[in-house]
Amino acid sequence: MKIEELKILRGPNYWSIRRTKLIQMKLDLQEMEQRPTNTIDGFGDRLAALFPSMYAHRCSVGEPGGFFKRVAEGTWMGHVIEHIALELQTLAGMNTGFGRTRGTGEPGKYFVVISYLEEDAGIYAAKAAVKIAEALTEGTAYDLSEDIQQLREIREDTRLGPSTGCIVEEAAKRGIPHLRLNKHSLVQLGYGVNQKRIRATIASTTGNIAVDIACDKEETKNLLGAAEIPVPRGTVVRTIAGLEEAVEKFGYPLVIKPIDGNHGKGNTTNITTWEQAEKAFESAKLYGRSVIVEKFITGFDFRILVINYKFICAALRTPASVVGDGVHTIQWLIDETNKDPRRGYGHEKVLTQITVDDSTMKMLDEKGYTLDTIPPTGELVLLKTTANLSTGGTSTDVTDEVHPENIVMCERIAKIIGLDICGIDIMAQDLQTPVSSNGGAILEVNAAPGFRMHIDPTEGLGRNVAEPVIDMLFPDRSNGRIPIIAITGTNGKTTTTRLTAHISKTAGKKVGYTTSDGVYIQNQLLMKGDCTGPISAQFVLKDPTVDFAVLECARGGILKNGLAFEHCDVGIVTNVASDHIGLGGINSVEQMARVKAVVPETVYPHGYAVLNAEDDLVYAMKKDLKCNVALFSMDENNPRIEEHCKKGGLATVYENGYISILKGTWKIRVCHVKDIPVTFEGKAVHNIANCLPSVMATYLFKSITIEDIRTGLQTFISSSITTPGRLNFFHFKHFTFLADFAHNPHGLKLLCQFVEQLDYPYKVGVISGTGDRRDEDIRELGSISAAYFDEIIIRCDKNLRGRTAEEIIALLQEGVNSVNPNIPQTVIANENLALEHIYANYKPGALYTIMCDVVAGALDKIKELKDRESGV
């Protein structure tokens, strides 16, 4: 078997709107296509033995053991690989269960689709599943433990930590979208101008000075001491001589730690001898030149969490440890402790497994112990110097025990340091009495405090500490979103996108929009090329200056990665026609409609899908939508429009020369098409059609008025700057070029119908075919051209996409000759040479209509010829 292709879907997609994180594997079963599972001796038994937990897979049978029943009856290996990949992730602590296996339309080849929690883990699981299936087929032994451990390590390396993760989850509950900005913990919450950022538990509202102070332990202690906050006596040293002075001044026991350390790194506590002090000094020096030496405060380790300068919760922290029983060794006690089902690898579970490291061995050595020592019954043997949960420590919630005076003190500390998310470490006998009077002290103030000990304490009540963070970042229950209009369809997407963006800008919006020729932020072209996929959409949504997004969403991006957003406010579908059929597993126009339907299916329930009432496939989408629906049509008497509006629905129509909004039984005339430049006085019928969804989409926003829409329509000029590759005229002295991106039969016919209305004595079509389209599609381009032009020039695209130039030319000629074998035809394969030929051999007064392949390249060449004519 062979994996031909892996696609990572990160948003709403062809397979699922709700399950946005999917791996799509294109798998060639090769000879296994002829070997369903019931024909492979012992396959089912070996599968069940290797994956006994797979009994829980119900599959289409709908009951436990259902999948094993399917295997016994006979199913194809793609289906088996789907289930293996899902179970691998579950065994590694990533419980995920959505899968699909469907034919691609090619014999023996399947799309195997699996959900994932962590992208890299999903990819690994997909590849490993194929190897495991092959081993099961061949009857060779396979050790799952290596794959499971590798998946765990991938998960820990790539997942958001528990602190960041709980903030993101809380944001999601509030409907606040998020974007992960790097492989680590930098996350954007919200879109555009309304975004906030977090990195671990540092927020974009957190002051840089406050973080600097918190990271400087001596500076922190000085500020707190000056404010009469109890802190340990101590000093900063850099040399052994300085260490000697500190020991003499403060006496034992001591704590030695780096001045700017974190997470307990380099810390040594309860130092009682000079030898220990020297070792601790060298250990701390590994993390910085300056070292803090301070009096060791005895008591219990408490962590107080203050958010937005308000006390939230408190936890008692205990370092990783075991309790002797007088019978077993320390190693046995560690192993037994790690059997606790609450302990897992990394942040997999509530508690982390205890590992033995150099720090552990050092602590045991100082007590004269080894891992083989049998401690007395009841003795607490500490295994780590710090009480971090990530090293096996435990936590107990003590929020309800904190004395009011301690609450006031901690809120003061957060204000003194200036930290809006603040973790305060206190050593004291308890928090039920004031720290100022029970001999306790403030040890540290932490920026980016961990939340895990509070959300999942070992004992006591878990606290939703993410909620006050979200309340601070997004007050008044705001959701951080900006309006999104998403536009899809076969033809007209780019013009509709540009016109919608232009109207929105006219209304004062700071618009970011994506098109097939680039990404624009407030009318500035920032990315060139086909930018209709999710990366370009995210570029807009990440921009902090944008307050309104208009996003063109093409087939390719949806199939390759899914959409960049989970929800939009308005979703437009212009039409669905026969283009790109046979690519990416989409083998019919009905399947293509399913791809396009992804956009309206993501519209919020309070939002609107704007659908073409004249297109049967588009209109049919309305039955599966959970949002409001508005329609548009070039015919106000369209029965679908009439029925819709009788029920109080909204529509835009072309009637009596006007673009009008129908609101129930009321009609609002917006603008006469002769006053809309992009319609060329009504001759460009397809651009009248493109105006209709733009008008409706913008009308749906209360902040955009009818006057804004009218002004936008009247000021949107079609040119090579505002609409590159869309009806771009270049008037030379003796002839005219018309450049357009029409690249499929539906689009070319609309273009030709426009050209037919133009008053030119001679019309020449410069046509080409796209190599990855079906034979019949390329032929149809030729036949349409022959029906409308007086002469044909055939050229080839720069990218032949899997065919030879000769093949494409032959198919175009077949189409031309099927309609008019006598029409003059010239073949000039290179686009630039074809344009040069026209310039040198033009027919006076002729219109040369060129189907652009690379829009920018064609326009640049035409402009070059124009300059040449002008003598520039």
What secondary structure, in 3-state letters, does 337-380 show?
A: HHCCCCEECCCCCCEECCCCCHHHHHHHHHCCCCCCCCCCCCCE
| pLDDT surpasses 80 at 814 | yes
The per-residue pLDDT for 18 is: 92
Distance CA 397, CA 459 (A): 6
Confidence of residue 263 (pLDDT cuts 50, 70, 90): low
Confidence of residue 265 (pLDDT cuts 50, 70, 90): confident
In terms of phi and psi (left: phi > 0; alpha: psi -120 to 50; beta: otherwise), the region of 871 is left
Alpha carbons within 13 A on the beta-carbon side of 407: 12
Distance CA 57, CA 77 (A): 16
Distance CA 56, CA 43 (A): 18
pTM (predicted TM-score): 0.87
In terms of phi and psi (left: phi > 0; alpha: psi -120 to 50; beta: otherwise), the region of 432 is alpha
Per-residue DSSP letter, 848: E
Range with the poorest average pLDDT among 272-276, 395-399, 844-848: 272-276
Contact by Cβ (8 Å): 164, 170: no
Distance CA 722, CA 343 (A): 60
C-alpha 388: how far from chain center = 31
| pLDDT surpasses 70 at 224 | yes
Q: Where are the beta strands (DSSP E) in 768-872?
A: 791-794, 825-827, 847-851
Strand partners, 112: 25, 101
The per-residue pLDDT for 341 is: 87
Range with the poorest average pLDDT among 283-297, 465-479, 595-609: 283-297
Per-residue DSSP letter, 96: -
Range 657-666 contact pairs with CB under 8 angstroms and sequence separation of 24 or more: 657/682, 659/688, 659/691, 659/692, 659/695, 659/713, 660/636, 661/695, 661/696, 661/699, 661/706, 662/636
| pLDDT surpasses 90 at 228 | yes
pLDDT, tens only, 853-865: 778 889 999 999 9
Per-residue DSSP letter, 850: E
| pLDDT surpasses 90 at 427 | yes
Comparing CA positions, the residue from 486, 577, 578, 573 lying closest to residue 532 is: 486
Distance CA 542, CA 529 (A): 19
Strand partners, 178: 189
H helices of 389-533, in order, are 404-417, 452-455, 466-473, 493-506
> By percentage, how much of the chain surpasses pLDDT 90?
85
Q: Pick the residue with more confidence: 608 or 798? A: 608
Comparing CA positions, the residue from 259, 275, 276, 258 lying closest to residue 267 is: 258
pLDDT, tens only, 271-284: 999 999 999 999 89
pLDDT, tens only, 33-54: 999 999 999 999 999 999 999 9
Written as six digits, the tokens of 536 are 């370009």
| pLDDT surpasses 80 at 129 | yes
Confidence of residue 389 (pLDDT cuts 50, 70, 90): confident
The per-residue pLDDT for 853 is: 72
The per-residue pLDDT for 638 is: 97
- Work out the mean pLDDT of the chain and round it to a whole number: 94
Written as six digits, the tokens of 573 are 């579908």
Strand duo 650-655 + 300-307: pairing: unpaired
| pLDDT surpasses 70 at 160 | yes
Contact by Cβ (8 Å): 92, 64: no
Q: What is the mean pLDDT of residues 548-577?
A: 96
Written as six digits, the tokens of 599 are 């956009």
| pLDDT surpasses 80 at 872 | no
Q: What is the mean pLDDT of residues 204-212?
A: 96
Comparing CA positions, the residue from 688, 692, 661, 685 lying closest to residue 676 is: 688
pLDDT, tens only, 644-698: 999 999 999 999 999 999 999 899 999 999 999 999 999 999 999 999 999 999 9
Burial label for 711, CB within 10 Å (0-12, 13-18, 19+), is middle
Q: What is the mean pLDDT of residues 806-835?
A: 93
Distance CA 867, CA 865 (A): 5
Residue pointed to by tokens 């350390």: 261
Distance CA 365, CA 138 (A): 52
Q: Which amino acid is at 477?
A: R
pLDDT, tens only, 583-606: 888 999 999 999 999 999 999 999
> By percentage, how much of the chain surpasses pLDDT 70?
100
3-class secondary-structure state, position 207: coil
| pLDDT surpasses 90 at 261 | no
